[in-house]
Structure 1
C-alpha cells in the first residue's frame, strides 16, 4: 500500500508593512519548493479580497517529503521573511 499523501491548506497573514518583502521572496520560495523531491503541488496566492492574506495549498507524496520541505524551509530566506507572521494551516493525510 502506498504511503498517504500529505495536504496542507490554509493561509498566512502579512501586515501591510511586510507585504512587499513577502511578495519579493515568494517566487524563489515557490520555485525551490516545487523542485523538491515529493512535491506534487505547491501554491501560495495572494487573496484578492483580503489584504495581506496569502492562501497556501501544498501536496506532498508522503510524510517524509513533507518533513523534508519543512526542514529546508526553516533554513531559507522565506523563513526569515515570514518569521513571526500569523499562520492558520490544517495538515491532513489521505
Structure 2
C-alpha cells in the first residue's frame, strides 16, 4: 500500500455568520446527499453545534487521497461552495 492508499479523515467545523445561517441550512441537505453519493465517500456528517450558535461540526472519511481530492474538486464547483464562500473553516486532515 502506498501512502496515498490509506483512508483520509477530515475533522473540524465551519462557523457561519448568523445572518447567513438560513441560506447555509437550506443548502446543507443537498451538499450532504451529493457528497455521500461520491465514489470513495465512507462517511460524511455535518451537524449544528448546540453549544456554539453558527458552528457546524464536520466529519469526513474517504477511502483514499484520490477520492478526497475528487470531493474537494467537486465541491469547488458547487452551490455549496458559492453559498459558503468566505465562511471560516477550521479543519484537520489526516490519513492512515
TM above 0.5, one fold?
yes
Runs of 4+ with >6 A deviation: none
Please report how far the alpha carbon of residue 75 of structure 1 lies from its aligned counterpart in structure 2 after TM superposition: 0.4
Residue 44 of structure 1: how far off its partner (Å): 0.6
Aligned with residue 37 of structure 1, among 14, 36, 39: 39
RMSD: 0.8
Alignment partner of 2:53: what SS? Answer: coil
Aligned-pair CA distance for 1:70: 0.1
Q: Could you tell me the TM-score, scaled by structure 1's length?
A: 0.98
Aligned counterpart, 2:30: 28
Q: Give 5+ residue unaligned stretches, structure 2.
A: none
Compute the TM-score of the two structures, normalised by the length of structure 2: 0.96
Query: How many residue pairs align between the two structures?
Result: 94
Aligned to 1:71: 73
